[in-house]
Amino acid sequence: MTPIYDRVALIGLGLIASSMFWAMKRAGVAGEVTGYARSEETRDTARRIGLCDKVCDSAIEAVQDADLVVLCVPVGAMGAVAAEIAPHLKPGATVSDVGSVKKSVIEAVGPHIPEGVHFVPAHPMAGTEHSGPESGFATLFDNRWCLIVPNGADEEATARLERFWQALGANCERMEVEHHDLVCAVVSHIPHLIAYTMVGVADDLSRVSDQEVIKYSAAGFRDFTRIAASDPTMWRDVFLTNKDATLEILGRFTEELFALQRAIRTGDGDELFDYFTRTRAIRRGIIEAGQDTEAPDFGRVQAKE
């Protein structure tokens, strides 16, 4: 494939950036890829494992002559990085990001972007519970969604970024800023918060040992622990910056949970049954939409005799 961008700069070298690098190499969509991470240890690791064609010791050096600069730092750090690199961006370049929240990133980064540079926010919806420069892999984005939130950006620059993400394996979809933050609160942010909470409750309970929790975790709890193992810095920033949407969904969640709690307390079996039947139907919809397979694996392969 002909490179879509001659020179790409990755600022921040964690799970997403390192996966982007390997996916770019797989697809051949970038001429040269430079990288920068704030921590010296991360830069050393990147050099050791061959992550990026060139690892730079400053963000300013990394963005020099870059046609695409991707901010891959936690959402709360985007503004400061943008302010630092802004004067050094090449005219006509595109700045993008991979943050899980878009409104606050646009507010923090947007004002720093100079005239003649395009800012096209994006959000690849992919990840694992691992983090750091060694956690990336080329197939992370395959068949995942990358939400593009142009927010008025130049159409040509937007379309080019879309082609880039598609070459990395993702499906792209454009979305309005506030709608993006609400959808992500529902499908990702609140599920993560809930998983964190449940794992915390289990750990706190003195009458049930951690060892027991761990031993019997296959029974529904294991999926929660996997979600709850994600990067603490990233998730802290998500909740601090997507405050409105997460608080709204959280309010709805506790309202529903209280209704079910009341049904348990009063012994209202019909309400519980109806609720559980309704949610089962939603799962069917997910399987029909091809987002998951029918086969239950629960951690291993199913086999009939």
242-281: contacts with a second copy (CB under 8 A): 243, 246-247, 249-250, 252-254, 256-258, 260-261, 263-265, 267, 269, 272-273, 275-280
Residues 215-218: contacts with CB under 8 Å, at least 24 apart: 218/298, 218/299
- The C-alpha angle with vertex 143 and arms to 236 and 130, in degrees rounded to 5, equals 35
Binding residue for a second copy, selected from 96, 130, 164, 206, defined by CB under 8 A: 130
Is 138 a binder of a second copy (CB under 8 A)?
yes
The strand pair at 118-119 and 54-55 is best described as unpaired
Question: Which of these segments, 77-85, 89-97, 112-120, 130-138, binds a second copy (CB under 8 A)?
Answer: 130-138
Binding residue for a second copy, selected from 3, 22, 110, 154, defined by CB under 8 A: 22
Least separation in angstroms between residue 56's CB and a second copy is 23
Is 26 a binder of a second copy (CB under 8 A)?
yes
Is 196 a binder of a second copy (CB under 8 A)?
yes
Place of tokens 């499906």: 171
Question: Which of these segments, 3-11, 104-112, 157-165, 215-223, binds a second copy (CB under 8 A)?
Answer: 215-223
Q: Would you call 272 helix, strand, or coil by DSSP?
A: helix
Least separation in angstroms between residue 283's CB and a second copy is 4
Least separation in angstroms between residue 179's CB and a second copy is 8
Q: Hey, which residues does 70 pair with through a beta bridge?
A: 10, 96
Binding residue for a second copy, selected from 53, 90, 160, 188, defined by CB under 8 A: 188
In terms of CB distance, is 64 or 139 closer to a second copy? 139
Least separation in angstroms between residue 202's CB and a second copy is 5
Residues 299-304: contacts with CB under 8 Å, at least 24 apart: 299/218, 299/222
Structure tokens at 74: 């936690």
Neighbours of 248 (CB within 10 A): 14
Query: What binding mask, one character per residue, do residues 44-73 give for a second copy by CB under 8 A, x or -?
Result: ------------------------------
Q: What is the CA radius of gyration of the chain?
A: 21
Is 221 a binder of a second copy (CB under 8 A)?
yes
Task: Give alpha helix (H) positions in 68-209.
Answer: 78-85, 103-109, 155-167, 177-184, 190-204
